[in-house]
Amino acid sequence: MKKTLLSLSVLLLGFTAANAQSDTVMMRKIYDEALVNGQCYQNLRYLCKNIGGRLSGSANAQKAVEWGKKLMEGYGFDKVFLQEVMVPHWERGAKEQGYIISGTKKTPVAICALGMAVATPANGITASVVEVHSLQEVAALGEKGVKGKIVFYNRPFDPRYIETGGAYGTAGDQRRAGPSMAAKYGAVGVIVRSLTEANDDYPHTGTTQYSDDAPKIPAAAISTKAADKLSAMLKGGNIKFFFKQNCRMLPDVLSYNVVGQITGSENPNKFITVGGHFDSWDLAEGAHDDGTGVMQSVEVLRILKTLGYKPKNSVRAVFFMNEENGTKGGLKYAELAAANKEEHIAAIESDEGGFSPRGFTFDGLNAEQIKSLNKKYKGLFEPYEADRLVAGGSGSDVGPLRAVAPNAVLIGFRPDSQRYFDIHHTANDVFENVNKRELELGAATMASLVYLIDTRGF
């Protein structure tokens, strides 16, 4: 088999002994290692199936930390350590109930509490419903239109965004700020259409952010099918809505970022970080969000080590804790970077799912630098169909580095975005929805960028 492998490589690449050490050859080796001997898929299976959902502060999150540290230690990296961080501890409690009341008829609908939301009273909330499509509409309705009611945010995803993150971003204010906006005008509860284009019966959780200048009122996500039904029934006449949720905030909990490091041979105090977040929502296994990102990150280090690559700069894989409801892990990583006087060159975050790689977005390079980056690297990524190297944001966990490392290039790994929000934050975010090759190609793409940054810079 070895011989066949080599001769195919020769055939594919036409390389000779003379340029055997070139970037092209190294990248081919990286992809071959990921695709032939890849371990991120089996690691992800373990994380999803043997640990499962791992919301910050939960027993499962602690299990994940312990397993993740062992996994890294098993790979024999130069350093493996934990970073202590206090995280919020929110619990969903017993499964939520929701139904539409029309006369004596009750139609059950699929809902789930938004993350960080408060509970309803023990006997739930029953109220009439006002449907809106924006926060502005709530303000325009004012107390007269909203007081004592349940506000139902029902603005759908805009399907015209090619990258679905755009639709998520623009629809997301309803979930994030909608509850407090409704509370300001006296609403008693909020129901938000799930942030997805999928038309199904799975509600999508995700954090809501209560503002300090309004009462905290219960808020839940409703499935898109149920939202359409509720909207239709509202047009049909006088209905009420009932929902009951049982979530609560507990005291903060000591948790950890898990860090693995290959120490730089030339610049041990200069760092290239690749990471994802270890915590997940509680409704499923946190497979694409963000099991794939953390398992790809450790795979990046495994691949480089396996290939005998000795980085000039220190390369770290970081499993950040608490991205979903606090970003405390990302903030702690930046805080410790400053305290320890680390020099951060670059940090890559994978938190958009384990789908086919398309490229990266770069924060910290100007237009001229992006152009030069493309000149150097686009051709190298082209054979792997991951050559979109454009300006853009990075990720919630590496983002805080900006404040302490003004010159760091913060990078978002960008996989194909079409399927992510179908399952994001739902009961469907399970291992079975991850494709092995897509996951592996992503890991290889990130490993290649780490290698290129380390070897040749930006």
What distance in Å separates the CA atoms of residue 66 and residue 45, rounded to the nearest whole number? 16
Kindly state the smallest distance separating residue 202's Cβ from a second copy, in Å. 14
Rounded least distance, CB 437 to a second copy, Å: 5
Q: Which is nearer to a second copy, 35 or 82 (CB)?
A: 35
Q: Give 78 or 163: the residue with its C-beta nearer to a second copy.
A: 163
In which order are the strands placed within the sheet that holds 248-262? 79-91, 248-262, 313-320, 267-277, 343-349, 409-415, 357-363, 388-391
Q: What are φ and ψ of residue 115, in 5° steps?
A: -65, 135
How far are the Cα atoms of 96, 123, 177, 196, 428 from residue 203, in angstroms, in the given order?
11, 22, 18, 9, 10
Contact residues for a second copy (CB under 8 A)? 5, 8-9, 12, 31-32, 35-36, 158-160, 162-164, 197, 356, 358, 383-385, 388, 416, 418-419, 422, 435-438, 441
Pair type for strands 189-193 and 150-153: parallel
Query: Rounded to the nearest whole angstrom, what is the least distance from the CB of residue 371 to a second copy in the complex?
Result: 15
Q: Do 199 and 159 contact (CB within 8 A), yes or no?
A: no
- The whole-angstrom separation of Cα 157 and Cα 126 is 27
Alpha-carbon gap, residue 412 to 16, rounded angstroms: 34
Q: Least distance (Å) from a second copy to the CB of residue 422?
A: 7
Our CB check for a second copy shows the closer of 126 and 435 to be 435
- The number of angstroms, rounded, from the C-alpha of 179 to the middle of its chain's C-alpha atoms is 23
CB atoms within 10 A of CB 47: 27
Catalytic residue chosen out of the listed positions 323, 324, 352, 440 = 323
β-pair partners for 357: 415
Q: Which is nearer to a second copy, 256 or 420 (by Cβ)? A: 420
Contact 279, 88 (CB under 8 A): no
Q: What minimum distance in Å lies between the beta carbon of 159 and a second copy? A: 4
Residue 149 near residue 110, CB atoms below 8 Å: no
Distance CA 41, CA 54 (A): 18
Inter-CA distances, 270 with 81, 329, 355, 364, Å: 17, 20, 30, 17
Separation between Cα atoms, residue 364 and residue 407, nearest integer Å: 7
DSSP-derived secondary structure letter, 384: G
Q: Reply yes or no on whether 438 is catalytic.
A: no
Whole-angstrom Cα distance, residue 230 to residue 240? 10
Nearer to a second copy, 11 or 18 (CB): 11
> Cβ of residue 61: shortest distance to a second copy, in angstroms?
30
Maximum CA pair distance of the chain? Answer: 82
Among residues 245, 168, 212, the alpha carbon closest in space to that of 419 is found at 168
Structure token digits, residue 458 = 């930006």
Q: How far is the CB of 8 from a second copy (least distance, A)?
A: 7
Nearer to a second copy, 160 or 341 (CB): 160
Q: Which residue, 5 or 338, has its beta carbon nearer to a second copy?
A: 5
Q: Active-site residues: which are they?
A: 323
